[in-house]
Amino acid sequence: MLTKRIIPCLDVRDGKVVKGINFVGIKEVGDPVELAKAYDEQGADELVFLDITATSDDRKTMVDVVQRVAREIFIPFTVGGGIRSIQDIRTMLLAGADKVSLNSSALKNPQLIAQGAKMFGSQCIVLAVDAKAREDGSGWDAYVAGGRINTGKDVLEWVKEATKLGAGEILLTSMDADGTKAGFDMKLTQAVRDAVSVPVIASGGCGSLEDFAQVLKNDTADAALAASLFHYGELSVSQVKDYLKEQGVHVR
Partner 1 sequence: MIGIIDYGMGNLHSVYNALNHLGLEAVISDDAAILETCDQLILPGVGAFGDMMDCLESKGLDQWLIHQAKEVKKPLLGICLGMQALFESSSENGLRKGLGLLQGKVIRMSDPGIRIPEIGWNELIVADDHPLKSRLSARPFAYYDHSYYASEWNPSDLAAYSCYGPYVIPGFVQKGNIAGAQFHPEKSSKDGLRILEWFGKEFAS
Does residue 222 belong to the site contacting partner 1 (CB under 8 A)?
Answer: yes
Residue 194 a catalytic site member:
no
Longest dimension (CA), the chain: 49
* CA–CA separation, 75 and 1 (whole Å): 19
Does residue 119 belong to the site contacting partner 1 (CB under 8 A)?
Answer: yes
Determine which residue in the list 15, 52, 86, 120 makes contact with partner 1, applying CB under 8 A: 120
* CA–CA separation, 33 and 70 (whole Å): 9
* CA–CA separation, 107 and 130 (whole Å): 11
Residues 131-160 that bind partner 1 (CB under 8 A): none
Q: Which is nearer to partner 1, 5 or 231 (CB)?
A: 5
* CA–CA separation, 96 and 80 (whole Å): 13
* CA–CA separation, 238 and 156 (whole Å): 33
Mask of contacts with partner 1, 67-106, x by CB under 8 A?
A: ---xxx-xxx----------------xxxxxx--------
* CA–CA separation, 247 and 209 (whole Å): 10
Residues 155-174 that bind partner 1 (CB under 8 A): 168-169
- Which of 45, 130, 141, 178 is an active site residue? 130
Q: Is 202 exposed, middle or buried (0-12, 13-18, 19+ CB in 10 A)?
A: buried
Q: How far is the CB of 73 from partner 1 (least distance, A)?
A: 9
Does residue 223 belong to the site contacting partner 1 (CB under 8 A)?
Answer: yes
Per DSSP (E only), the strands in 111-217 are 125-133, 140-144, 149-154, 169-174, 200-203
Q: Which helix (H) or strand (E) holds 77?
A: strand 77-80
Q: Which is nearer to partner 1, 169 or 185 (CB)?
A: 169
Does residue 199 belong to the site contacting partner 1 (CB under 8 A)?
Answer: yes
User: Which of the stretches 53-61, 122-130, 146-154, 240-248 binds partner 1 when contact is defined by CB under 8 A?
Assistant: 122-130
Does residue 3 belong to the site contacting partner 1 (CB under 8 A)?
Answer: yes
Residue 11 a catalytic site member:
yes
* CA–CA separation, 59 and 15 (whole Å): 9
Q: Which is nearer to partner 1, 2 or 24 (CB)?
A: 2
User: Which of the stretches 18-26, 56-64, 181-189, 191-199 binds partner 1 when contact is defined by CB under 8 A?
Assistant: 191-199
Closest by Cα among 233, 242, 243, 211 to 224: 211
Determine which residue in the list 1, 111, 137, 152 makes contact with partner 1, applying CB under 8 A: 1
Which residues of the shown chain bind partner 1 in the complex (CB under 8 A)? Answer: 1-5, 40, 45, 70-72, 74-76, 93-98, 118-124, 168-169, 197-199, 222-223, 252
- Which residues are the active-site residues? 11, 130
